[in-house]
Structure 1
């Protein structure tokens, strides 16, 4: 099996909304400092817990999930060996979302009482389909800072960062 086949299999396993909501809900409850930015509040915690337990993800526009493959421009490789702490972000239209990076994908999970997409254009659908965007390592200042910190603290970097200098 080649790496692109492994990537497809890995991504397919994550193309269920309940799995993303479970990760988000667990991050909310985690005592690990890595997940300190994840605070769903009582209302969303309860709704997401019910969605996970009943395995009914509600509408596609409720807690929408978006994905973007994370590449290195220089090599074209997917950054499947990097995971960083999630961020709570505010979108341009005023909604909150959590941004996770794992499995070679930047995942965005919308968490807002008033998110209402007119139609589902590219978020995760009920049948597990979605349109993935492209994101580049070299364009993410958080990753560049992380690489700089790693290079100062550790001798061995993740294999995809060792191919050539990122900075």
Structure 2
């Protein structure tokens, strides 16, 4: 099982879109819990997190590492609010998690849209953890070094409403 870490920048509607996309993975037994990361307190975010049974961390610079401390599982799926994993992602992540070790603890979703920003990210941000990564908790907590990210055959898209 994995924990979903969802970083909020667009608000409760984008968070709800991402959390609802995770429901099939919860039903399949892949996603066991969620941690919501927000830079500011928001009553609606708290309501959405509570309704989803997710933990809410509010800190000025809430980071993936903060989420790793609150997560209940060893494998963490890092997402931004508005991210929607596409068909087939549950099988791909399940297979990676069951075969992966902490040393192989970083995998990356493919993102649709190959604009300039996406190209720069692929070239220069190879080892940095960002939204769309599946990472082992020990990697995020700097307890173990990881090799180059494994490119997953699953894709993730942004909900067009949230950019």
TM-score by length of 2: 0.28
Report which of the two has the higher share of strand.
Answer: 2
Query: Of the two structures, which has the highest relative contact order with CA contacts closer than 8 Å and spacing of 6 or more?
Result: 2
TM-score by length of 1: 0.27
